[in-house]
Amino acid sequence: MAARLCGALLIVFLYGLDAYSNRPAVNQELSNLFNELWRLDGNRMKPGADYNISVQGRAGFVSPGSLLVQDHASLPLFSSVDEIKLRNSTTFSRFMTLLDNYERSTGVSERVTSEELTEISLFLDAVLQTDVMKRAHQYLVSKRQSSSDLRLFKNQLNLIWFHLYRRQRNSGMDSCGFEHVFVGETKSGTEIIGFHNWIQFYLQEKNNHLDYKGYKARDHDLPDQDDHVLNLQFSWHNLVNPVGSAFIGTSPEFEMALFTVIFLMSTERSSTVLVNIDQCQVELVVIRQGRSLGTAYPKLLSSNSRHVRPPSH
């Protein structure tokens, strides 16, 4: 089966919304741009060649904050990943150096060392050299949302993704967009928040900090090993995430480019953009924290090109 962007149909689980109500119109301009970025993502890992996943069983219902969960996946999600290829990719390798820079718990102030600032700078330099981010930058310049000056655009990315802020009241600077989206955090010692990245998932699973419990999908939309978006249930450091979404196999620059474009094209605190990418229809959600990113994640609505086919009678 040819690799495709999506397969598992994400349940809309936040705020109790129905996936099929209040849906915005498809943003064709951003669909076109994001499909272009998808094709330009030369660092994307290929399923069956660069990595293999085992989706196993369907996860059950878990109420938020509960530590009780039934395991419907006796094996890890990732059965193999070509780590040599990962480490030979500049953006992936520099991305991975950032993953151990953060305090997991919100409410605990982050201390950023000069070495960590250098790691951030080198990562952004690598991202800016990719075709994906070059095209995203070109688009943002055309929309007058970014300067054509690469140094200023790098500063803009740094502010959006790495600027520290307070996620928890009465605490110090304890969070940033990069940490929340790509690394994951825990809140009040009872819940997992953020954590929407497959590399972090794989590494935490490999180091026995994370246990995959199964996939979440509607009855008629089952994931397989080729899917590039999955809806997952897992435990991490003994806390349970009832359902969380992540791209699988995509590069850091692809995910950053998508969410940066949406962040800069809207001034709303919460933005939801409906786009068609590859064979799926997906909502991309971006929530601001001042001039920085609070969170960003994909919500898969339709896969296997179902949204372009007329309903059967």
Residue 310 belongs to a domain: no
Containing domain of residue 44, as a range?
28-50+75-303
Residue 23 belongs to a domain: no
Residue 223 belongs to a domain: yes
Question: How does residue 5 score in pLDDT terms, banded at 50, 70 and 90?
Answer: low
Q: How many CB atoms lie within 10 A of CB 14?
A: 10
pTM of the model: 0.89
Q: For 271-310, write each residue's pLDDT tens digit.
A: 999 999 987 788 899 999 999 999 999 987 766 555 555 4
Q: How far apart are CA 211 and CA 230, in angstroms?
A: 15
Residue 22 belongs to a domain: no
Q: How far apart are CA 31 and CA 308, in angstroms?
A: 14
Residue 218 belongs to a domain: yes
Q: Tokens 């919304």, residue?
A: 17
Angle made by CA atoms 61, 15, 108, in degrees to the nearest 5:
85
State the sign of the Cα–Cα–Cα–Cα dihedral 275, 277, 281, 287: negative
Residue ranges of alpha helices (H) inside the chain are 28-40, 83-88, 90-98, 114-128, 131-142, 150-162, 177-178, 198-206, 252-264
Residue 136 belongs to a domain: yes
Residue 287 belongs to a domain: yes
Residue 269 belongs to a domain: yes
Name the E strands within the chain: 51-53, 78-81, 185-187, 191-193, 210-215, 229-236, 239-247, 270-277, 280-289, 292-302
Residue 296 CA from chain centroid, whole number: 7
Q: Tokens 């149909």, residue?
A: 9
pLDDT at 72: 94
Q: How many CB atoms lie within 10 A of CB 7?
A: 26
Q: For 13-49, write each residue's pLDDT tens digit.
A: 333 334 444 567 999 999 999 999 999 999 999 999 9
Overall domain count for the chain: 1
